[in-house]
């Protein structure tokens, strides 16, 4: 049974732990976490039943795989003992913008280094992860990577040159989506619904639409057209989105996130 250690215990680490436990990849006893000076690690351990490490040495004592999940800006100040403590271990980083070359410098003796970008829907097994590796993974490591990432949803191997875009679309995308759902809720209230009813309709409508898109496997424009009658209600709303250049706004959001990912790569 593989043992996963999480260095960092924030929202993304919590989503990954939830995915592993929900899909019964490993029992709580085979997961351990260590956070910063706050209480995130203790809270994650209390909520999930995994162990909270006492120190970096304790964290890695029995771990096969280290998942690096603290804030990207903290990589420069990472404990220098990690270089030796991760010797012959698989290291999987979910640090936005931190490239394999940079990670290999922090974990020079790791068996392999993987850069991955999951997203928070991983907590319910509905995540989407892009990943790449420093070297082609050996069979055993490929199995470990699959068990971790597939437990959270779908995972796709990509070129590292695509990771900034993956970070922007997949990693930040849920945040943009939640903002859109909040906008639908507020619009429903403005149209005369209570906040609770508007929230329910906004959430369930977007959920159903996403499921339909995933199952039909056709382009979203076709599905959009199927619900748009000439000069009907959907047409009227779409005209407003077009007038306010909705797609350009979304494009700008994704490109801004990708640019920030590249900026993080330049920071030590």
The burial class, CB within 10 Å (0-12 / 13-18 / 19+), for 174 is middle
Q: What is the pLDDT of residue 37?
A: 85
Q: Is 103 annotated as a binding residue?
A: no
* Residues 6+ away with beta carbon under 8 Å from 38: none
Q: Is 72 annotated as a binding residue?
A: yes
Going by C-alpha positions, the residue among 6, 93, 2, 65 that lies closest to residue 41 is 6
Band of the pLDDT at 268, cuts 50, 70, 90? low
**Would you give the end-to-end CA distance of the chain in angstroms?**
35
User: Which uninterrupted H or E stretch holds 25?
Assistant: none
Band of the pLDDT at 239, cuts 50, 70, 90? very high
Q: Is 23 annotated as a binding residue?
A: no
Q: What is the pLDDT of residue 264?
A: 84
Percent of the chain with pLDDT over 90: 82
Instruction: Tally Cβ neighbours within 10 Å of residue 128.
Output: 21
* Residues 6+ away with beta carbon under 8 Å from 55: 34
Angle, CA 150 vertex, CA 147 and CA 152 arms, to 5°: 110
Dihedrals phi, psi of 245, to nearest 5 degrees: 55, 55
Cα dihedral 144, 39, 94, 102, rounded to 10, equals -110
Q: What is the pLDDT of residue 25?
A: 86
Q: Is 119 annotated as a binding residue?
A: no
3-state class of 6 per DSSP? strand
Considering Cα of 168, then 135, then 59, then 31, what sign does the dihedral take?
A: positive
User: pLDDT tens digits for 112-156?
Assistant: 999 999 998 988 889 999 999 999 999 999 988 998 898 889 999
Q: Is 11 annotated as a binding residue?
A: yes
User: pLDDT tens digits for 34-68?
Assistant: 998 889 999 999 999 999 999 999 999 999 999 99
Percent of the chain with pLDDT over 70: 99
Global pTM reads 0.87
Q: Is 36 annotated as a binding residue?
A: no
Band of the pLDDT at 23, cuts 50, 70, 90? confident
Q: Is 12 annotated as a binding residue?
A: yes
DSSP summary character for residue 228: -
Domains of the chain: 4-159 (3.40.50.720), 173-265 (1.10.3730.10)
Q: Is 83 annotated as a binding residue?
A: no
Q: Is 8 annotated as a binding residue?
A: yes
User: pLDDT tens digits for 74-87?
Assistant: 998 999 999 999 99
Q: In what order do the strands lie in the sheet with 31-34?
A: 51-52, 31-34, 4-7, 65-68, 90-93, 112-117, 127-133, 153-157
Category of 260 on φ-ψ map: left (φ > 0), alpha (ψ -120 to 50) or beta: alpha
């Amino acid at each position: 049974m593989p043992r996963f250690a999480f260095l960092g215990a924030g929202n993304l680490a919590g989503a990954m732990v939830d995915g592993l436990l929900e899909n019964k990849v490993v029992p709580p006893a085979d997961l351990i976490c260590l956070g910063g000076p706050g209480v995130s690690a203790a809270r994650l351990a209390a909520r999930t039943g995994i162990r909270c490490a006492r120190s970096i040495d304790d964290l890695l004592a029995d771990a096969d795989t280290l998942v690096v999940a603290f804030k990207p800006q903290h990589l420069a100040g990472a404990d220098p003992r990690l270089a030796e403590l991760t010797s012959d271990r698989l290291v999987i980083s979910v640090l936005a913008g931190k490239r394999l070359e940079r990670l290999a410098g922090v974990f020079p003796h790791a068996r392999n280094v993987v850069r991955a970008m999951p997203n928070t829907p991983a907590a319910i097994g509905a995540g989407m992860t892009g990943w790449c590796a420093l070297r082609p993974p050996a069979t055993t490591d490929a199995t470990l990577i699959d068990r971790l990432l597939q437990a959270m949803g779908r995972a796709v191997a990509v070129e590292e040159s695509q990771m900034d875009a993956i970070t922007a679309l997949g990693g930040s995308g849920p945040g943009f989506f939640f903002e859109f759902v909040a906008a639908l809720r507020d619009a429903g209230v403005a149209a005369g619904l209570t906040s609770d009813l508007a929230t329910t309709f906004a959430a369930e409508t977007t959920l159903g639409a996403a499921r339909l898109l995933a199952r039909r496997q056709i382009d979203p424009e076709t599905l959009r057209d199927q619900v748009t009658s000439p000069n009907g209600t959907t047409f009227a709303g779409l005209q407003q989105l077009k007038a306010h250049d909705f797609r350009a706004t979304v494009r700008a959001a994704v490109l801004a996130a990708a640019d920030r990912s590249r900026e993080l790569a330049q920071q030590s």
